[in-house]
Structure 1
Amino acid sequence: MIVFDLKCGGGHVFEAWFGSSVAYEDQRVAGQVRCPMCDSGDVTKALMAPAIAAKGNRKPDAPTPGAIKAVMQRLASQQAEALKTSEWVGTAFAERARAMHLGEEKQATIHGQTSVADAKALVDEGVPIAPLLPTAAPKTLN
């Protein structure tokens, strides 16, 4: 089977399947290929982009160290901006985040410290949290 993009004289573009290029040509000449939108028999092949598959053994290019550094600097900068309006809650982070999630405490933007186990428990409970980059990151990436 082969698929062609076809175009009628009215400008409608549509797709049709044929057994072969010869089958398409035979059906077109016999007036059997018609536009499904306007029923025009004035149908020709439309321009098509070839479907070329990527080589199966090709791996994507690895990001360059410069690209990684740029992304990390941007993340660190965005994090620094977000922390300006965030409250430091220290080791009470898990308790405060959970209380806000349950509606026991007023919503606020906070940051602090917690154990990996407590962070996993918060995620399992559906509490929206995210890890932070080390605070020295903006200075050390220069």
Structure 2
Amino acid sequence: MIKFTLKCDRDHRFDSWFQSAAAFEKLAATGNLSCAICGSGTVEKAMMAPSVAPRGLKDKHAPAPAHAAQDVPRAQGTPGALRQPANQAEQALAELRRHVEANSEYVGMNFAHEARRIHDGETPERSIYGEARPDEARKLIEDGVPVAPLPFIPGRKSN
């Protein structure tokens, strides 16, 4: 795994993990990268400092350097600390998720089928969210069914 600092055309900067440098290049070449903050599809690598282990920490199982704790913006030991948004982007995503979950019906892996039924007038119109394979989502878009990806994982799949 490799972590890159990325930047969009609106100068938002964010970090993302990739299986390899080649995996990043493949995603970039196919237009499958988007800004984690604004959703822009124009994303490139930003200048970043290399992550080099200090002397004596060449063993991959060695403990992380003490300064690594500074990277964790949440207070350790605070009840629910990992559930609290660390910045405005995380706060906005948490609010979006709450809104979608409160005002839409989760249809799971039946999303493509149910979205098509609503679009074709076979079932009453309502807000739904769920999961679809990439080929199913592509077909919905090609057929003019209004769909959009959500920037969060459904609650049943998150820890």
Q: TM-score range by the shorter chain?
A: 0.3 to 0.5
Q: Please, what TM-score do these two structures have when normalized by structure 1?
A: 0.46
Higher relative CO (Cα under 8 Å, sequence separation at least 6) belongs to 1
Indicate the structure (1 or 2) with the bigger Cα radius of gyration: 1
Question: What is the TM-score normalised by the length of structure 2?
Answer: 0.41
